[in-house]
Structure 1
Amino acid sequence: MFKPTPSLQKMLRRLPLSTKQAGKEYYKGNRVGKLGTITRYGNFTPDWSLIRTFVYPELGTKNCELTPFVAEDMEKTRQTSEGFETYPKRLTGKDYLDAWKLSGGYDLVENDAYATGTNMPEPFEEKAGEKS
């Protein structure tokens, strides 16, 4: 099998182990903490003094006296090289249509060629080609 060069072997020993590098009995965990014990028969018994529990407000979230860390009406800002700036307003469909009408857009065709009065084009029919 291939081995890393001797200079890299010292570096690889200091890297954190994974389950693929160690034996099949190795279990690293996921920073969860100890929540109980495993009996000698292999069963898990939880220790309820170590398990985190979150209490839901009695009056519900709408009528709760707790508030978020940031006010809901505060504008969202981002940091730039000059300082902080607010995000630009999002363009909604109504804003787009208003800008389109101001720039000369129209809903109905003002031409008398169309009997329906909409801005649909006339159907195009291809002429038969002549063989030479």
Structure 2
Amino acid sequence: MTALSSAQLRLLRELDPWMILGLADAPEYWCKNIRDMQGVGTTLDQEWRAAGLWRTTYPWGLAMTAVGDYMRERKRDDPAHVVALTWAEITRWIESMPPELRAEARRQRKAGAVSVSLVVDQLLAHGIAAEQGALW
């Protein structure tokens, strides 16, 4: 089972819930789609917002980083990143999920906000369980 760190899961939570469900349904398609949108923005996480961090989409993945990389030239291991997550890491994490959890995400992609939030919580909880299991 592929694990993500708790910081990487926090970074994923910065994405819109429909994007997380899309990633669970078809990671190759949605990684490319999210990458091509080149999204950036103020973080939803209050702690990161207070620290002046910014969510940035890079050709190689996502990062919570210091403002100022307007050309998106920072590499994955740049010290300005508090946390980084590559498209390959996201894909491996999704592919390690139980098929029934991915199928539920697929079914709920068109559901109401409450159902979507519940499934997103299940997906991210899977990451937490994987991280805890990797420690032992």
Structure 1 and Structure 2 fold alike (TM over 0.5): no
Which protein has greater RCO, CA pairs closer than 8 Å, 6+ apart?
Answer: 2
Q: By percentage of residues, which structure has more helix?
A: 2
Q: By percentage of residues, which structure has more strand?
A: 2
TM-score interval, normalised by the smaller of the two chains: under 0.3
When normalised by structure 1's length, the TM-score is: 0.17
